[in-house]
């Protein structure tokens, strides 16, 4: 398996090359040059496999045996998934009204990002221990990615991590899940801006090839292929737990922000998994407009919502979807993305939309009022509490209850992280499992409005590298 950039400048790269990277050198994202195809017989053979087993089966198709042996890969996956709170890792709850909740949130930070980042962290550590190199990970978060990324590499000898979080735009609990991680290799900035704004200095850093090389910079946002690759596995797991028999169709409803999760689902479908998907979003609706009518355009500022991890106006994985549904036409993707970056808008061509709509069959936009209504109804009918992101998908289900095939709702986070939304939805359940965070020490720095965020970030990265060099000199 070899990898290339969506925009065509690079090709023939190994899995390790793209794992230890951020944006591609031409500004694009890394993707497989080819996608493996599975027959119905192969799917049937996978049907009874555990979640960790499916992660191995999927990863094995994208990582060559020459890079990591099967025994090493299995051990790596199993050792990192041990941290999850339930033996099954992913659970499916069957509620009233054919509401099937696929619980992806049983990891250390109670968010689905843990599924991928626990394995990505293990992959990074595997290679770093082998090479004795050091890296600096640069992460922008809208809420959940930051804490999952931090948990995956905290305390690791060869890794420093810098996280930018949008202060006041994620929940208090989400922020504390990051700022209470005070290991020496952790560097957190609270930014006076939204998640799209804080991505700008990060992307600028990755555009400087010499700077990236000098400081061994990488990203583990969903721009990183490793994240998307591992997420493919939970689509297979969800399918096998919901289908009546292998080969029949299943619909999965996906809360969508930067579109990394739904991109993984589209790859699963391209590999032969018989699923269709519905992309559900909050009032920041660029992903829904793009996937429903081809209107990939930025309109106004990011609106703060009850589902903060989806408060995004530039879902960068749309670029990977363009690659998939132009049949991997990298020149075409480059032209479309050049226009988007120049004009803040581009119209996705009709033939691409026709292809895409065979997989992402519908989109849905949920207001805060609809989020609260869905949360309240689920509780009243089932005595079960969902998070506001999951509620975006459940709201779609309540608007379209008859589908004709099994349907699963991907539950992307536990409600414990969003006590304010639970209270606002008039649910009489106290969400206090994370109250211990209030009494823990915190560590963070500021990026204030009007300051040079890019300059601050570069200086911090240079400081991290200098500190490492000083330690190596003392050791030597």
In this structure, are strands 3-5 and 30-32 parallel, antiparallel, or unpaired? antiparallel
Q: What mean pLDDT is predicted for residues 287-307?
A: 94
Q: State both tokens at 471.
A: 């330690």
Are 393 and 408 in contact by the 8 Å Cβ rule? The answer is: no
* 244/264 Cα distance (integer angstroms): 23
CA distances from 387 to 86, 309, 418 (A): 19, 11, 7
Q: State pLDDT tens for residues 32-53.
A: 999 999 999 999 999 999 999 9
* 330/9 Cα distance (integer angstroms): 9
Which percentage of the chain shows pLDDT scores above 90?
A: 91
DSSP H stretches of helix in 272-329: 286-293, 318-325
Q: State both tokens at 449.
A: 């409005």
The whole-number pLDDT of residue 473 equals: 81
Banded model confidence at residue 476, pLDDT cuts 50, 70, 90: low
Sign of CA dihedral 54, 59, 64, 65: negative
The whole-number pLDDT of residue 142 equals: 83
Q: What mean pLDDT is predicted for residues 423-434?
A: 94
Q: State pLDDT tens for residues 199-213.
A: 999 999 999 999 999
Q: What mean pLDDT is predicted for residues 440-456?
A: 97
- For 388, other C-beta atoms within 10 Å of its C-beta total 30
- For 268, other C-beta atoms within 10 Å of its C-beta total 26
Q: Which residues have CB under 8 Å from 301's CB, separation 6+? A: 194, 313
Q: State pLDDT tens for residues 63-113.
A: 999 999 999 999 999 999 988 989 999 999 999 999 999 999 999 999 999
Q: State pLDDT tens for residues 104-140.
A: 999 999 999 999 999 999 999 999 998 989 999 999 9
């Amino acid at each position: 398996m070899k990898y290339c950039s969506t925009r065509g400048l690079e090709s023939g790269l190994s899995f390790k090359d793209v794992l230890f990277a951020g944006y591609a050198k031409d500004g694009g994202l890394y993707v497989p040059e080819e996608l493996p195809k599975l027959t119905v017989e192969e799917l049937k053979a996978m049907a009874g496999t555990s979640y960790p087993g499916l992660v191995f089966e999927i990863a094995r198709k994208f990582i060559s045996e020459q890079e990591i042996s099967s025994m090493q890969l299995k051990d790596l996956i199993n050792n990192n998934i041990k941290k999850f709170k339930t033996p099954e890792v992913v659970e499916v709850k069957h509620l009233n009204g054919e509401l099937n909740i696929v619980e992806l949130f049983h990891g250390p930070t109670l968010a689905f990002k843990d599924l991928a980042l626990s394995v990505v962290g293990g992959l990074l550590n595997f290679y770093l221990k082998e090479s004795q190199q050091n890296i600096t990970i640069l992460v922008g978060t809208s809420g959940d990615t930051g804490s999952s990324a931090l948990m995956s590499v905290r305390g690791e000898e060869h890794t420093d991590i810098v996280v930018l979080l949008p202060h006041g735009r994620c929940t208090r609990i989400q922020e504390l899940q990051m700022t209470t991680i005070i290991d020496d290799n952790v560097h957190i900035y609270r930014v006076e801006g939204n998640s799209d704004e804080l991505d700008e200095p990060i992307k600028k850093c990755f555009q400087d090839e010499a700077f990236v090389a000098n400081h061994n910079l990488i990203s583990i946002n969903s721009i990183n292929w490793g994240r998307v690759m591992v997420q493919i596995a939970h689509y297979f797991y969800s399918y096998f737990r919901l289908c009546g028999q292998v080969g029949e169709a299943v619909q999965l409803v996906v809360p969508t922000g930067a579109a990394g999760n739904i991109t993984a689902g589209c790859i699963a479908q391209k590999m032969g998994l018989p699923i269709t998907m519905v992309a559900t979003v909050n009032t920041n609706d660029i992903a829904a407009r793009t996937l429903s009518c081809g209107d990939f355009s930025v309109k106004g500022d990011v609106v703060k919502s009850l589902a903060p991890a989806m408060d995004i106006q530039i879902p960068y994985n749309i670029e990977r979807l363009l690659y998939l549904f132009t049949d991997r036409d990298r020149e075409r993707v480059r032209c479309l993305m050049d226009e988007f970056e120049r004009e803040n808008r581009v119209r996705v061509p009709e033939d691409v939309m026709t292809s895409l709509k065979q997989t992402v069959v519908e989109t849905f936009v949920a207001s805060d009022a609809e989020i609260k209504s869905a949360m309240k109804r689920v509780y009243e009918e089932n005595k079960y509490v969902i998070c506001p992101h999951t509620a975006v998908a459940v709201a779609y289900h309540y608007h379209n209850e008859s589908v004709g095939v099994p349907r699963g709702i991907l539950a992307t986070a536990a409600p414990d992280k969003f006590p304010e939304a639970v209270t606002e939805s008039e649910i009489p359940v106290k969400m206090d499992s994370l109250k211990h965070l209030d009494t823990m020490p915190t560590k963070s720095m500021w990026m204030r409005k009007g300051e040079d965020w890019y300059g601050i970030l570069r200086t911090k990265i240079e400081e991290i590298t200098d500190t490492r060099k000083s330690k190596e000199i003392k050791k030597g």
